[in-house]
Amino acid sequence: MEIIKGIDNYLHKFPTAVTVGKFDGIHLGHEALVSLITTRPGMKSVMVTFSASPRKVLFDHDLKNIITEEERNFILEKKGIDILLVLTFDKTLIKLSPEDFIGLLVNRINMRYLAVGSDFTFGYQGKGNTDLLLQLSARMDFDLKVIEKIKDEGRDISSSRIRDLIKKGDVAQAGRLLGHPFLIAGSVVHGRHLGTGMGIPTINIIPPENKLLPPFGVYITTVEIRGRIYHGITNVGNNPTISDDNPVTVETNILDPIGDLYEERATVIFHRFIRPEKKFASIEELTEEIKRNIREAREFFNRG
């Protein structure tokens, strides 16, 4: 997948099939759009997204992302997208009229097919909608496909709905609506090596500040490192049993040790919530609880 940041100096000579959006989470509704643009014969598929969420820039400055930029790229690499075009969401882009925004895509990336959801809005103050797109498609010579919102149990699948599930710790349900597991990616960093002293060595990731985290607690997870998958359990939190001033970490015990992983890039993939984080009376009590959690994880993976 080719990643292009900015469109001002970019021209694409081959016809492209395009979809546009923030794509927070890359959920099942987004995957339906991806499927449309990656199957157009004779066209390169282009996903157009933004350097920052329009909602975050304009309305909700504290909004956390379901997926970070690195995680988004990790997911899209597996979905067959040819080009990811990241537009800078700045004052220039915000002030583009709907007609000028679509004209930019037609002229700069040779858009000949556009797939969007029925609630898609675009251009200055979101004044563009699918009715206007239909007119522009005839005027600017591109095919248009508008799809209805994908539903689950009678409700729209949306990033807001998935965000609420993650905040509740229901990573299994969130993963089902995403179409892929909820995940956290980052570099493995040195911790206090307390797990090693307890006979339960761990790897630690410091989550990005803009990353939406599930509630503090222990989860059954897998970890992808260097293209290989390892089973584990992960604690999201600040280890209150150890001390009161720990930073928030994503700490994973890989069930079958694999050696030194410091500074490796790791992707922690969440499958199920086990228990909330708590402060234990002693390190020994914490150790016994972790061993019980490991047994539960092994049973989970043995069941497939």
**Tens digit of each residue's pLDDT (9 = 90 or more) over 132-189:** 999 999 999 999 999 998 999 999 999 999 999 999 999 999 999 999 999 999 888 8
- pLDDT bin (cut points 50, 70, 90) of residue 18 is very high
Question: pLDDT at residue 55 above 70?
Answer: no
- Give the range of the structural domain holding residue 39, as residue numbers without chain letter: 14-156
Q: Are residues 93 and 204 in the same domain?
A: no
Domain membership of residue 169 (yes or no) is no
Q: Are residues 20 and 147 in the same domain?
A: yes
**What burial class does residue 108 get, using C-beta atoms within 10 Å of its C-beta: 0-12 exposed, 13-18 middle, 19+ buried?**
middle
Domain membership of residue 2 (yes or no) is no
Q: Are residues 94 and 210 in the same domain?
A: no
Looking at residue 169, what is its pLDDT?
Answer: 95
Give phi and psi for 91, each to the nearest 5: -60, -35
Q: Are residues 30 and 133 in the same domain?
A: yes
Question: pLDDT at residue 60 above 70?
Answer: no
Question: pLDDT at residue 243 above 70?
Answer: no
Last residue of a domain, one of 121, 139, 156: 156
Q: Are residues 218 and 102 in the same domain?
A: no
CATH number for the domain spanning 200: value is 2.40.30.30
Pick 73 or 270 by higher pLDDT. Answer: 270
Q: Are residues 26 and 140 in the same domain?
A: yes
Give the count of beta carbons closer than 10 Å to the beta carbon of residue 83. 18
Report the predicted TM-score, pTM, of the whole model to 2 decimal places: 0.84
Overall domain count for the chain? 2
Q: Are residues 68 and 31 in the same domain?
A: yes
Last residue of a domain, one of 121, 140, 156: 156
Pick 46 or 238 by higher pLDDT. Answer: 46
CATH number for the domain spanning 148: value is 3.40.50.620
Q: Are residues 53 and 137 in the same domain?
A: yes
Structure tokens at 15: 């016809």
Domain membership of residue 194 (yes or no) is yes
Name which of 53-57, 130-134, 216-220 the model is least confident about.
53-57
Q: Are residues 18 and 140 in the same domain?
A: yes
Pick 85 or 256 by higher pLDDT. Answer: 85
Looking at residue 91, what is its pLDDT?
Answer: 84
